């Protein structure tokens, strides 16, 4: 037993020794982003490599705020990401439940179509989607245009379908025998059991909405409706680029995501690994 424990200890030490340099390599660009956000524009392109933060972060943020009204853009991004995540998780959960637990004509074809849509690059559908939303429905520069078009997420549907299909059918049959209605089975039994999967899916969808750049750029032309990534993009001009402001904005965009992932990583890992065990 002692030799086995000693062997496991050395395995852990070797694993940490191998993973620590990889973690440092991954963290180094984030650290340099923070360092650049504290430097003036001319300091970013200095021939000397600076690894210590400077004192110009507040100045860079003030320039960023003056040029883009970045706090408003952050508020829009947070609002859109939260609403989009909640609604998309609800829709994908309902679709996944129907595809996993109900038998109807054409179910296999629907699943095949959903899988097929994952293979399509977003650039194929973005122009028709823009024409439909902006020209046909006249919804440009609105909250609806930012939130509704990307709501149906094929990956989320398949994610939730897999989660619901792994649950024992006898549990739901017993509830039906007791007279529990279908919507109650879904809300009170299925969804609580799928909580880890929903948590992981929520993180994925929130990140997708938070980092979305192309669709908000196309559908909104008013400065007051810009999301944070689009606001950062406006700092890149033809004759001037505010690199200090861009780095400060990138830090402000990255920090909440890191905090969310650190706080919810247990749920994320549990949801991702839930499909590995049946």
- On the CB side of 82, CA atoms within 13 Å amount to 8
Secondary-structure breakdown of the chain: helix, strand, coil percentages, each rounded to the nearest 5:
75, 0, 20
Q: Residue 236 forms beta bridges with which residues?
A: 241
User: What pLDDT does residue 203 have?
Assistant: 87
What average pLDDT does this structure show over 123-130?
88
Q: For all residues of the chain together, what is the average pLDDT?
A: 85
Using a cut of 0.75, tell me whether the model's pTM lies above it.
Answer: yes
* Alpha carbons 130 and 182: distance in angstroms, whole number: 37
| Interval 175-210: pLDDT, tens | 888 888 888 899 888 998 888 888 888 888 998 999
User: What pLDDT does residue 272 have?
Assistant: 59
User: What pLDDT does residue 251 have?
Assistant: 92
- Model confidence at 55, pLDDT cuts 50, 70, 90, reads confident
36 or 7: which carries more pLDDT confidence? 36
Q: Which long-range contacts (CB under 8 A, 24 or more apart) does 269-276 make?
A: 269/200, 270/196, 270/199, 270/200, 271/196, 271/197, 271/198, 271/199, 271/200, 271/201, 272/200, 274/163, 274/166, 274/196, 274/197, 274/200, 275/162, 275/163, 275/166, 275/197
- Model confidence at 2, pLDDT cuts 50, 70, 90, reads low
Give yes or no for residue 278 having a pLDDT over 50: no
Give yes or no for residue 76 having a pLDDT over 90: yes
Per cent of the chain over pLDDT 90 is 24
CB 117 within 8 A of CB 158: no
Give yes or no for residue 277 having a pLDDT over 60: no
Give yes or no for residue 274 having a pLDDT over 60: no
137 or 7: which carries more pLDDT confidence? 137
CB 201 within 8 A of CB 154: no
User: What pLDDT does residue 70 have?
Assistant: 92
274 or 232: which carries more pLDDT confidence? 232
What average pLDDT does this structure show over 30-36?
89
User: What pLDDT does residue 77 have?
Assistant: 93
Residue 242, class by beta-carbon neighbours within 10 Å (0-12 exposed, 13-18 middle, 19+ buried)? buried
What average pLDDT does this structure show over 159-181?
87
- Model confidence at 83, pLDDT cuts 50, 70, 90, reads very high
């Amino acid at each position: 037993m002692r030799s086995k424990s000693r062997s496991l200890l050395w395995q852990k030490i070797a694993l940490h020794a191998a993973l620590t340099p990889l973690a440092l390599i991954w963290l180094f660009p984030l650290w340099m982003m923070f360092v650049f956000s504290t430097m003036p524009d001319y300091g970013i392109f200095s021939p000397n490599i600076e690894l210590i933060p400077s004192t110009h972060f507040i100045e860079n943020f003030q320039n960023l705020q003056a040029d883009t009204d970045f706090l408003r853009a952050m508020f829009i991004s947070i609002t859109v990401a939260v609403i989009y995540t909640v609604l998309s998780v609800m829709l994908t959960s309902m679709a996944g439940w129907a595809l996993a637990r109900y038998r109807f004509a054409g179910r296999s074809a629907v699943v095949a179509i959903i899988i097929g849509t994952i293979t399509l690059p977003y650039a194929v559908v973005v122009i028709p989607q823009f024409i439909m939303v902006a020209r046909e429905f006249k919804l440009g520069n609105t909250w609806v245009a930012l939130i509704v078009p990307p709501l149906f997420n094929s990956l989320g549907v398949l994610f939730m379908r897999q989660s619901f299909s792994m649950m024992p059918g006898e549990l739901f049959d017993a509830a039906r025998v007791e007279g529990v209605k279908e919507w109650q089975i879904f809300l009170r039994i299925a969804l609580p059991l799928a909580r880890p999967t929903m948590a992981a899916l929520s993180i994925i969808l929130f990140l997708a909405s938070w980092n979305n750049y192309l669709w908000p750029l196309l559908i909104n032309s008013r400065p007051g409706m810009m999301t944070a990534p689009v606001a950062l993009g406006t700092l890149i001009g033809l004759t001037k680029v505010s690199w200090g402001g861009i780095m400060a904005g990138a830090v402000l965009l990255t920090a909440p995501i890191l905090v969310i992932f650190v706080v919810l990583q247990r749920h994320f890992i549990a949801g991702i690994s839930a499909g590995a065990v049946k």
